[in-house]
Amino acid sequence: MLTPRFKDRPVYFASRQVLAAALLLFAAVSGAYASSHREAPLITTLPKVDGTDFYMFNSYEPNRRGYVTLIANYSPLEDAYGGPNYFALDPDARYEIHIDNVGDARAHLTFQFRFTNTARNVALNVGGRQVAIPLVQAGPVSAGDSSNLNVNETYTLKVLRGADDDHSGQAVTGPGGITTFTKPTDFIGTKTFGSVSEYARYARQYVYTINIPGCSAPGRVFVGQRKESFAVALGKTFDLLNLNPLGPRNGNPNDLADKNITSIALEVPARCLVSEHGSPVIGGWTTSSIRQERLFALNPDSVNSTPERSAGGWVQVSRLGMPLVNELVIGLKDKDKFNNSRPANDGQFAEYVTNPTLPALIESLFAAKAPTNFPRLDLVFTFLTGFQGLNQLRTVTPSEMLRLNTSIPPTPKGSQNNLGVLAGDNAGFPNGRRPGDDVVTASLRVVMGVLCTFNKPGIFGCSPSDAPAGAAPLTDGAAIDDSVFDNSFPYLTTPIPGATN
């Protein structure tokens, strides 16, 4: 294994004072083995606002140096054939990407998305009467002609600045000053859209160049269905890790290979994300919120178009930074609480990481000795504070979020190592997260103590003797890399069609 390095210098590590603070405020962030699909009891009832993955990386599309890509995925386990309504996002919800560029575990920059679904009430003449059709399309759809769509899904985007979210924000604008953007209809099938390549052209027209208030250079935005971007042996993982952790990295099928996802993707100039005080490091996480009250009409003869009404203040119901913290680290009794919490308050979850249950479970199932270095300072560095000289902000408030050094050059597609920093590719996880990073394998090795085996004993608060299985090439067997993703924004690929013709 290679020691992480930054600009040809060894990574320097936090002082004992920082580590002590980290332990007091340690959030629920240890190694994750999957993304956050259906990870908490409440969110299973609200799939439209269930955040599943968050990517934050320095854009590696050619000629986009100096940009950062942010991708928030929602709506888990979408079956491509899931008609007739498919997977529109919730118009009564608020979807947000938060950036901390100070280090106090609070949002100082927030991108807020709100959605509207408009039914066109397309009707057909049936026996002399105009009768509304039951589908979201009345005929073929193409990049040049969307007139047959029965439902239009649009969204607005605002940028909010400051540590508090009680202000209205400023509208992001697109070409010609537009403030309302279109989300392409999901990939119903190739009879509706002609072919996979035709759908790709149709969706591509909804990649917008945007003007962000307070930013001197333009960015880009896209919201739409994509092929599921995460790879994991999901069924085997939750069946008491019913897999071979020392087997080949491609030894198991990816259980999500036949699923789609809904992505919210932004590309923003890095200089618009970093602090004015000069640090190139940012932290990021996503949330979704719904109204406090959801009312349903009881009168079956109501003339209302929908029986549901939402009212009251906002309640955060999903939160995601590092991959799968809530799914396999947080205790069942606190999963909904974690989704409702903010990074600044992560100290309440300290025990789940200082004394993580996952390594103990692995030990009981495979006789692979779990690390014995309690508290787990190696996990503090990786998931809570970042590494000095790599991705640690100047001010360190321990909290769970992705951290990215925007000054580290991106590694081009085809040259990326899917183990990221563990394999010497400092442009990858846990310095942010790219779509092709195998975070399952990387995190599995970290949680079992790979950092304790590095060639400088004690720098992570542990030594090789503390982690007997730390050097083992552990994996879930469902590998992923950059080859299965596009080389241009929004990077995630064309979704699977609901049917082929």
For 367, residues 6+ apart whose C-beta sits below 8 A from its C-beta are none
Give yes or no for residue 455 having a pLDDT over 60.
Answer: yes
**What is the per-residue pLDDT across 210-266, written as a single tens digit (0 to 9) for each?**
999 999 999 999 999 999 998 888 788 778 778 788 888 888 888 889 999 999 999
Q: Is 94 helix (H, G, I), strand (E, B) or coil?
A: strand
Average pLDDT value for the chain = 86
- Comparing 104-118, 312-326, 335-349, 415-429, the range with the smallest average pLDDT is 335-349
Give yes or no for residue 31 having a pLDDT over 50.
Answer: no
Q: Let me know the angle formed at the C-alpha of 108 by 107 and 112, rounded to the nearest 5 degrees.
A: 70
CA distances for 286 relative to 122, 232, 341, 465, angstroms: 36, 21, 12, 38
Question: Quick one: which of 28, 77, 99 has its CA closest to 287?
Answer: 99
Give yes or no for residue 398 having a pLDDT over 90.
Answer: no
Give the mean pLDDT of 145-168: 87
Give yes or no for residue 33 having a pLDDT over 80.
Answer: no
Question: Quick one: which of 357, 339, 350 has its CA closest to 383?
Answer: 350
> Contact at 8 Å (CB) between 96 and 110?
yes
Give the mean pLDDT of 273-280: 88
- Comparing 10-14, 150-154, 186-190, 258-262, the range with the smallest average pLDDT is 10-14
Give yes or no for residue 41 having a pLDDT over 80.
Answer: no
As a whole number of angstroms, the distance between CA 481 and CA 99 comes to 26
At residue 44, the pLDDT reads: 76
At residue 471, the pLDDT reads: 93
At residue 304, the pLDDT reads: 56
- Which residues, listed in sequence order, are joined to residue 433 by a DSSP beta bridge? 56
At residue 45, the pLDDT reads: 78
Higher pLDDT among residues 62 and 168, named by residue: 62
Rounded to two decimals, the pTM is 0.90
B/e letters for 390-429, b = 16+ CB within 10 Å, e = fewer, are bbbbeebbbbbbbbbbbebebbebeebbbbbbbeebbbbb
13 confidence band (pLDDT: 50, 70, 90): very low
At residue 300, the pLDDT reads: 60
**What is the per-residue pLDDT across 304-329, written as a single tens digit (0 to 9) for each?**
566 777 778 899 998 888 886 666 67
Q: Is 35 helix (H, G, I), strand (E, B) or coil?
A: coil
- Which residues, listed in sequence order, are joined to residue 69 by a DSSP beta bridge? 57, 267
Give yes or no for residue 402 having a pLDDT over 90.
Answer: yes
As a whole number of angstroms, the distance between CA 186 and CA 238 comes to 29
As a whole number of angstroms, the distance between CA 349 and CA 310 comes to 31
- Comparing 218-232, 309-323, 336-350, 438-452, the range with the smallest average pLDDT is 336-350
At residue 431, the pLDDT reads: 96
> Contact at 8 Å (CB) between 385 and 39?
no
As a whole number of angstroms, the distance between CA 211 and CA 204 comes to 19
Higher pLDDT among residues 476 and 425, named by residue: 425
Q: Let me know the angle formed at the C-alpha of 272 by 269 and 273, rounded to the nearest 5 degrees.
A: 100
At residue 343, the pLDDT reads: 83
HSE at residue 341, side-chain half, CA atoms within 13 A, is: 22
26 confidence band (pLDDT: 50, 70, 90): very low
Share of the chain above pLDDT 70, in %: 87
Count of helix runs (H) and strand runs (E) in the chain? 10, 17
Q: Where do the domains of the chain lie?
A: 43-466
Give the mean pLDDT of 460-481: 92
At residue 18, the pLDDT reads: 38
Which residue, chain included where needed, has tokens 């321990």? 398
| Torsion, CA 178, CA 184, CA 185, CA 190, rounded to 10 | 140
CA distances for 265 relative to 151, 180, 211, 497, angstroms: 22, 16, 15, 21
Give the mean pLDDT of 13-17: 41
CB atoms under 10 Å from CB of 351, counted, come to 14
Higher pLDDT among residues 55 and 45, named by residue: 55
At residue 136, the pLDDT reads: 95
Give yes or no for residue 164 having a pLDDT over 70.
Answer: no
Give the mean pLDDT of 474-480: 90
As a whole number of angstroms, the distance between CA 360 and CA 329 comes to 12
As a whole number of angstroms, the distance between CA 375 and CA 398 comes to 15
Structure tokens that stand for 356 in this block = 């993580």
As a whole number of angstroms, the distance between CA 290 and CA 312 comes to 9
At residue 143, the pLDDT reads: 95
Q: Is 260 helix (H, G, I), strand (E, B) or coil?
A: strand
Give yes or no for residue 15 having a pLDDT over 50.
Answer: no
